[in-house]
Amino acid sequence: NPRLHVSLEERRSSCKHPIASRLFDLMMAKKSNLCVAADLPSLDEVITLAESIGPKIVVLKIHVDILEDFSLTKIRQLKEVARAHEFLIMEDRKFADIANTVQQQFHGGVYRISEWADLITAHPLPGPEMITHMFGDSSSDSRRTCGCVLILEMSTKNALTNEDYAKEAAKWGLIASDIVTGFVGQSAPNSDFPGWIQFTPGVNSSSASGDSKGQQYCSPAKAVLERGADIIIVGRGLINSQDVVATAETYRTEGWAALTQRITN
């Protein structure tokens, strides 16, 4: 798969979405391909974590619906931290409904995700129309301010996202590559389009297997070198550690070393 060995500069120049270009810029500037899954119960805790590990990460991934103290004021505070430390905010909402519903979930309700998210995840399950319509019409600002990340494969045991599913969904993603900035997956799809970005969750250096609830783990090096990850997503392996800053530095170093090794090989 040639995409895996293309330099980040070259991949950046083939991006069709400003958020994808920005992410490549951040990776090169910060020498980091680390995304932290900040699955904490409150935005106050997420903000504190982000202030400490911000310099080491390129993306902070949240689940807005698990935050007990959600408010748009606090989200704006988190945006300020993201601006100061230069990382993107990914809302891992995993949309999976008809476009008409997803549009309302994305722009409306309590969370108003499109006002603040730089990246948003979606399942391709409902079909390509959802991807093209979730942002609203072509004049919608969020088309340029937020990139869609398609979930091609899941990290869990016995996930239904098999090879055929992932292949078909990757095709839709590629057709809509002005909207779809990347994908979540456990393997690199066969495509030579270098402009989109692979996010791989299920990364944990202290557990070789997984959790007791179906999650499966691998090391940063394996995620990057064997599975095609451009960005490694680390949750509990970091947020439950004693010293989150030191742990972030370890994941950053390992992830970045693996990525540069893969590109130069």
Please tell me the chain's helix, strand, coil percentages from 3-state DSSP, rounded to the nearest 5.
45, 15, 40
> Does the footprint of ligand 5BU cover residue 232 (CB under 6 A)?
no
Residue with smallest beta-carbon separation from ligand 5BU = 235
The count of residues interacting with ligand 5BU (CB under 6 A) is 16
61 beta partners: 37, 90
181 φ/ψ angles, rounded to the nearest 5 degrees = -90, -15
* In the complex, minimum distance from the CB of residue 233 to ligand 5BU, in angstroms, rounded to a whole number: 5
Kindly write down the DSSP assignment for every residue of 9-35, as one continuous string.
HHHHHT-SSHHHHHHHHHHHHHT--EE
Q: Among 12-20, 102-110, 140-148, 234-242, which window interacts with ligand 5BU (CB under 6 A)? A: 234-242
> Does the footprint of ligand 5BU cover residue 37 (CB under 6 A)?
yes
- Whether 94 sits among the annotated catalytic residues: the reply is yes
63-102 footprint of ligand 5BU as x/- string (CB under 6 A) = -----------------------------x----------
Give the integer Cα–Cα distance in Å for 101 and 99.
5
Secondary structure (3-state) at 74: helix
Contact residues for ligand 5BU (CB under 6 A)? 37, 39, 92, 151, 154-155, 184, 201-202, 204, 215, 233-237
